């Protein structure tokens, strides 16, 4: 029994020593931080790629000076890390900012930037879009080498918008729902009036009025009011349908952009197309649909791609043109190559004769 008590006491003593050591170490670290100043600033861009950087360590240092946020020779615990994080995250292309101080007095800032898939540069828009549909404005001091989409096509979001494309769709649906609710509230007094006139009609029917002419006159008077109520209710229902239809058109517009993003991702995933397609010109057809023209690196022609439906078949035909036609006829023989038609490729010579 005494041996068991001794073993328990030994375990308790060991854990007590460990706890005291942890508390003592934490106290030393806290005291060290209270006395330690920032000796060095280490800024790391975590996900630098071959496409380039939208933010650099030098730019972060300039931003710190512009905002007047003290770092070097400032006590570690006095550095406003939250202000630094918020300052950097104001740039829409920044995905994550991690800040921590090492025991030696180095303040580490690790920045992860978003990886854009394409740059939308058309009709007042100048923004990058990632593969998962995140939109952010193009920074003034940097640019990445990614496919450029130009033309007169206008996305559903405003030129200054930053955020996810899914949030744009959610905002459209919420706005439509609020509008429908507002219209629905307007129907309540009309329904009350309709109930009133229905009650009046029933009262006339159940009354003891013997003159048929007088009864019919009252019926005509009441039925006129009921027709007015029904017309107003029908107008409100038509307004609701129009609100929902307008919302669905905006959502469909966003879905078109999603298809465009997926198409560019398909281009970028293929080494041949990634090297060959340098620009996409997006236009809006007369029926409001998105149509594409591709600008290749090889040759002086333009590729009339058309709608995004059947894009895989169109790319297959276009690859056939490059493999079978361009190598024999020459890269500069044609003004345009059209792959919009089923089972055929239509090429137009530069010389119309």
Q: What is the 3-state secondary structure (H, E, C) of 273-293?
A: HHHHEEEEEEEECCCCCEEEE
18: which 2 tokens? 């460990």
Same domain? For 89 and 178 the reply is no
Same domain? For 109 and 178 the reply is no
Q: What is the dihedral of CA 319, 325, 327, 333, to 10 degrees?
A: -120
Same domain? For 109 and 14 the reply is yes
Q: Residue 278: its pLDDT value, please?
A: 87
Same domain? For 98 and 11 the reply is yes
Is residue 282 domain-resident? no
pTM, to two decimals: 0.75
- Let me know if 164 is exposed, middle or buried by CB neighbors in 10 A (0-12, 13-18, 19+): middle
pLDDT in tens, the chain (353 residues): 666 676 666 666 677 767 766 665 666 456 555 557 777 888 888 765 556 677 778 888 888 888 888 777 777 777 788 888 888 887 777 888 888 887 677 888 888 888 888 999 887 899 999 998 999 888 876 677 888 999 889 888 899 999 999 999 999 999 999 999 999 899 999 999 999 988 888 888 877 666 777 778 888 888 888 899 999 999 999 999 999 999 999 999 899 999 999 999 999 998 999 888 989 999 988 888 889 999 988 877 888 998 888 899 999 988 988 888 877 777 777 888 899 888 888 888 876 55
Boundary residue ending a domain (68, 85, 113)? 113
Is residue 146 domain-resident? no
Is residue 13 domain-resident? yes
Q: Residue 41: its pLDDT value, please?
A: 83
Is residue 15 domain-resident? yes
- Let me know if 206 is exposed, middle or buried by CB neighbors in 10 A (0-12, 13-18, 19+): exposed
Same domain? For 35 and 100 the reply is yes
Domain span at 37:
2-113
CA distance 306 to 290: 8
Q: How many domains would you assign to the chain?
A: 2
Boundary residue ending a domain (253, 281, 307)? 253
55, 90 Cβ separation under 8 angstroms: no
Same domain? For 91 and 179 the reply is no
Same domain? For 17 and 105 the reply is yes
Q: Residue 51: its pLDDT value, please?
A: 60
Contacts of residue 310, defined as CB under 8 A and 6 or more positions apart, other chains included, come to: none
Pairing of strands 106-113, 94-101: antiparallel
Same domain? For 96 and 189 the reply is no
Is residue 118 domain-resident? no
Boundary residue ending a domain (87, 113, 139)? 113
Same domain? For 103 and 190 the reply is no
Is residue 206 domain-resident? yes
**The domain spanning residue 58 has which CATH number?**
3.10.20.310
CA distance 305 to 313: 11
Is residue 311 domain-resident? no
Is residue 284 domain-resident? no
CA distance 103 to 36: 8
């Amino acid at each position: 029994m005494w041996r068991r008590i001794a073993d328990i006491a030994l375990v308790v003593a060991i854990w007590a020593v460990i706890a005291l050591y942890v508390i003592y170490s934490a106290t030393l670290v806290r005291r060290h931080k209270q006395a330690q100043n920032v000796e060095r600033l280490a800024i790391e861009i975590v996900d630098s790629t071959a496409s380039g950087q939208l933010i650099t360590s030098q730019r972060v240092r300039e931003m710190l000076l512009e905002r007047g946020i003290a770092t070097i020779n400032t006590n570690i615990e006095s550095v406003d890390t939250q202000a630094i994080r918020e300052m950097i995250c104001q740039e829409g292309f920044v995905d994550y900012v991690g800040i921590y101080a090492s025991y030696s007095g180095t303040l580490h800032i690790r920045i992860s930037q978003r990886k854009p898939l394409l740059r939308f540069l058309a009709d007042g828009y100048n923004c990058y879009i990632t593969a998962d549909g995140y939109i952010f404005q193009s920074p003034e001091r940097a640019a990445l080498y990614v496919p450029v989409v130009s033309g007169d096509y206008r996305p559903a979001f405003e030129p200054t918008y930053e955020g996810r494309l899914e949030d744009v769709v959610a905002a459209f649906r919420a706005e439509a729902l609020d509008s429908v609710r507002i219209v629905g509230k307007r129907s309540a007094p009309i329904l009350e009036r309709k109930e009133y006139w229905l009650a009046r009609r029933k009262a006339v029917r159940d009354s003891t009025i013997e003159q048929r002419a007088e009864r019919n006159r009252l019926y005509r008077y009441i039925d006129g009011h009921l027709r007015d109520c029904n017309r107003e209710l029908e107008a409100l229902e038509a307004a609701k349908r129009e609100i929902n239809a307008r919302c669905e058109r905006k959502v469909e517009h966003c879905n078109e952009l999603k298809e465009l993003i997926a198409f560019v991702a398909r281009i970028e995933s293929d080494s041949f197309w990634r090297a060959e397609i340098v620009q996409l010109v997006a236009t809006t057809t007369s029926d409001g649909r998105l149509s594409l023209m591709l600008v290749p690196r090889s040759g002086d022609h333009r590729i009339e791609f058309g709608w995004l439906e059947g894009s895989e078949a169109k790319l297959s035909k276009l690859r056939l043109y490059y493999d079978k036609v361009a190598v024999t006829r020459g890269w500069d023989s044609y003004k345009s190559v059209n792959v919009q038609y089923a089972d055929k490729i239509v090429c137009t010579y530069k010389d119309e004769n």
